[in-house]
Chain A
Amino acid sequence: MNESENDFESLRRLLAIKRHEIPPPGYFNNFPGQVMARVRAGETDAPEGITAPSWLLKFIQAFEAKPAYVSSFACSLCLLLLFGIVYAERPDGTEKPSLLTAFAPSSASLVEAKSADFSSSAQTTGLMINTNPVLSLQPVGALFSRQNPLAQPMNVSLQWPGN
């Protein structure tokens, strides 16, 4: 080993330059103050009462750099959400619709039910359902079909004075 040390003697002399590299004057006078300011800032940013509980931090740390875990966890969350929606849509819990078919029919029936409700209320208030913006708000039969009881037919003859 001594031989190899001698082989590198010239290199070690050159490496001595590194020991003469010094930061700007006064740098180490300010350094502790900057560190302690960051330490204090870290303490005020996250006081004891607001910090996340340790179990939550461990839980989050468990997912760091583990994309497979994250994606499987996200998939299971989505499945749970889907099940929640499906069960919330069903009026009673007696029959269990399959996962694939249950969602679409229940949405269609919801739309039908809503439109039926709206049509019946439109009938009672005399509103006509139409996509035409002019006609859609007109009461049904308001223009021609409903007869005014006070209106009587009368004969009118127009004669010009000269005739």
Chain B
Amino acid sequence: MAEPAARHDPEPSAPVDEESLVRRARRGDLEAYDELVRRYQERIYATIYHMTSNHEDANDLAQESFVKAFQALKTFKGGSSFYTWLYRIAVNKTINFLKQRKNRTHMSLNDLDFNAEHDPDLVALISDKTPRRDAGLTELQEKLNAAMLKLSEPHRLVVVLHDVQGLSHDEIARIMECNIGTVRSRLFYARQQLQGYLSDYLRPS
């Protein structure tokens, strides 16, 4: 199986260090919790942002997730890593939010960074082999986000966690509290759906 393009290490620092931070935060040490927020803010924000396609919603939900995690730290038993537990809080909060929002979707997309124009994968996509060769990166970005929003929340989440965030099937199964087979089947179905929605912008295989 091919590994995801951008692989993020779910636990970037030594686990002992994280454990001690969590222990201190549980005792009410705000400096320790501030360190944990700095450590995981980008991945938590990115996951929520890719699920909502809206920066303002992602900002609110990410903040709420960290606040809720702090309040619930005393109930954290340590059965999973803090990272997985925090991810679960953020994912549940986001899915609840999306269910309440239903079809009232409003995209507020972030800008693409400078490196996007030089990414070989993206350069290939807007080359002459692509059916819609006139499509620019911004248009592709909008079409991709719109297509993602058409997926159901569990399918979108699997795509975000695996193909965008780079988590393994096993990690996704732990976060979503389901088995690996479910993760794989959801990923396959979601990709099929996306391929159908975006056929005009994909190079024929």
Contact = CB atoms under 8 A, between A and B. Distances in A.
Interface of A: 1-2, 4-24, 27-28, 31-32, 34-36, 38-40, 42
Contacts, number: 119
Contact of B116 (A20, A35, A42): A20
A22 B5 CA distance: 17
Given A2-B2, A21-B112, A36-B30, 6 more contacts: A16-B121, A17-B141, A21-B49, A21-B109, A35-B41, A35-B66
B119 A20 contact: yes
Contacts of A8: 191, 195
Contacts of A32: 34, 37-38, 41
25 contacts: A1-B1, A2-B1, A2-B2, A4-B188, A5-B1, A5-B2, A6-B205, A7-B205, A10-B125, A10-B202, A10-B203, A14-B198, A15-B144, A15-B164, A16-B5, A19-B6, A20-B112, A20-B113, A23-B59, A23-B110, A24-B55, A32-B34, A35-B63, A36-B30, A39-B66
A17 B2 CA distance: 19
Nearest to B8: A19
Contact of A11 (B42, B109, B195): B195
**Range, interface on chain B:** 35 or more
A42 B37 CA distance: 16
A1 B195 CA distance: 17
A13 B195 CA distance: 12
| Most B CB within 10 A of own CB, among A15, A34, A36 | A15
Contacts of B198: 11, 14
A154 B115 CA distance: 126
A65 B116 CA distance: 46
Interface of B: 1-2, 5-6, 30, 33-34, 37-38, 41-42, 45, 49-50, 55, 59, 62-63, 66-67, 70-71, 109-113, 115-116, 119, 121-122, 124-125, 137, 140-141, 144, 159-160, 163-164, 184, 188, 191, 194-195, 198, 201-205
A83 to B, nearest CB: 40
A2 B70 CA distance: 41
Contacts of B163: 12, 15
| Most B CB within 10 A of own CB, among A19, A20, A32 | A19
Contacts of A7: 195, 205
